[in-house]
Structure 1
Amino acid sequence: MSSRLTRGRSGSSVVGSADYLAPEARLGTCCPASDVWSAGMVLHALLVGFLPTWDADSDKVVIDLRGPQYASVSPGAKDLLLGLLEADPHQRLDAAAAAAHTWSKGLEVGGCLMQPDMTPTLTSFVSFHRSAKLRRAALTALAMQLTSQQLQRSREQFLLVDTDGNGRISKEELARSIALSAPGGGEDVRDFVESIFDSLDTDGSQEIEYTEWVAAALNEGAYQSEEALRSAFRIFDLDGDGTIDCSEIGRVMKQTPEEIAGFLPDFDANGDGVLDFEEFKKVFEHLLPGTGLTVTLGTTKLSL
């Protein structure tokens, strides 16, 4: 059905049904993109019930998505088909991009490709950006305690923003998604992403991983669950004595004793050198002063 390549070599052999072979494979030259084309032909057959036809004069596949045979095919599936059946192998979707496509992930609702509504998430990002390091660590701990159902919206949004499907969000992917959600943002989008990205990327990897995304995207309602807060508290309270001391904070946050001694008094209300549960809950309310920078993203103004 599909072309087969010899490992490590391009164009060494072409095996398979001619109807499924990519244009370059028909000429005797194969590459990894040739198998993507074959997958596109299979998908076309599954969606429509038959293979597209080849034009005898141009030796190109004829796909007219306006035709009645495509009426039942969703916009997302059509978009994926066009990417898979691109004649130029250099412009064709690769396997990773095809797997990360919105339709492949099942993130198409009512025949419409979902665009992420980033407004609530961006507001949470600003709050996270203005958080002290202890608050960021506490939010990360809290995010780890939430159920799959509670995280569903964040997960769907993360998948939409992660366009290459590698499980991490780059600065470019974040900027592109915000621009889609807030058209016309232009320079403000770039300024916003540059301002907040390092805060969201808590491990300094230059990419936002899923747990980092969830922690930064949490809205205030997530802090109201006593059970989730106590579970997050227990992540810090390593010895289970009901308080969090400097050494426990250091093991969770990888901060030096000097750094911890510098910020602990901001949260240690009674000055006993440790945080009890009530003091820990106050961590979630603590925001640093803003910088005075305001960006306008669509109809939303955000003050950093």
Structure 2
Amino acid sequence: MMDVSLGELRVRQVAELDLALPLDAILPGIGGEDLARLKQWYWDDALSLDPATAQCALSMHSYLVEIDGKKIIIDTCNGNHKDRTMPFLHRLTTPWLERLGELGVAPEDIDMVLFTHLHVDHVGWNTRLEGDRWVPTFPNARYVFGRRDLDYFSTTEAEADLSHQEAFRDSVLPILEAGLADIVEEDAVLHGASGDGVWLRPAFGHTPGCCTVHARRGGPPALFSGDILLHPAQIVRPDLHTSFDRDEALAAQVRQALIEEVADTDTVIFPAHFMQGAAGRIERDGEGFRYRLVGETPPAAA
């Protein structure tokens, strides 16, 4: 299980489930040349070079962040027993809570719950089923919602996103009703100071209020990228939008800017859906970019 310490910051992964979906359905426009470039460094040896047959391997997981004695959960996956339009997410029964417990952490220990955005696979463990009611999973935590996404998913404009509306009703509304929600702007500082604590940055496009979560304490910075980087192929082709992006052009601009900003720095990326506990760093690779996992040995200098 992934366990990364960056100075006085500790990040561990809480896995829920893995999925494999048709890659060309998730990343429309991906081509064989893109897959060949990805294959040069990608850790999934089973990746096909044919866009028509290639599978998009995705991990659903949360991050447990520990800083200054506080325990923070970032993105809460899908949750159990929930009615979902997407069949592969319908009424799951995963051991996510047990895996959190294996880290020595109980739901009551969580101080804060953060979200990169409010899609179905990022809010589900906000609540658990108790009898016939959805109750907060983390009763002592403050759940921090970005204002723009909360406003969007509260409106009829979002009702076409049925699966996300289902999640809003059973995984967000109960938190609001319980009085455990803090509603903030997407550039809010949540602990300490910007650059030395935990803070948000706007990254609109994937959803109207999508943001990145940042943390740092005495070591390299951690960047929780959410679905700005859904799959490693988007490091090879930052312009590749996903079928889930609401504003495809804006999402691509945000992704390109993020990659340019962090490339060849000590920033450690914690993606929302990369496989293999895939914390890593983005590096320049000729005219493009590549991703190197934490702990992966760089090639020897020529």
Indicate whether the TM-score tops 0.5. Answer: no
Q: Output the TM-score relative to the length of structure 2.
A: 0.22
Which structure has the bigger radius of gyration? 1
Q: Greater relative contact order (Cα 8 A, min sep 6): structure 1 or 2?
A: 2
Q: Output the TM-score relative to the length of structure 1.
A: 0.22
